[in-house]
Amino acid sequence: MRKSYYATSNTIITSTITGNANGEITLSMTAANTANLTPGRQVFDLLITSPTGVKTRVVEGVIVISPGVTR
């Protein structure tokens, strides 16, 4: 995940295949990574690499980070 398409820094989103038969993938982040997020718009994409090394983008999008209210 990056602040813009051209940003050099990124935040790691972990992907896990959770339903191989139906193509289900779970995306997650650690508590430490989410604690360091700043409010605003972020972009992401998900690439899958085949056994032969071919990379395919399967999903992409925008994530909106909202500041917390509860203290």
Q: Is the pLDDT of residue 63 over 90?
A: yes
Task: State residue 21's pLDDT score.
Answer: 86
**pLDDT, tens digit, for every residue of 4-36?**
999 999 888 888 888 888 888 899 999 888 888
Task: State residue 64's pLDDT score.
Answer: 95
Do 28 and 13 touch, CB atoms closer than 8 A? yes
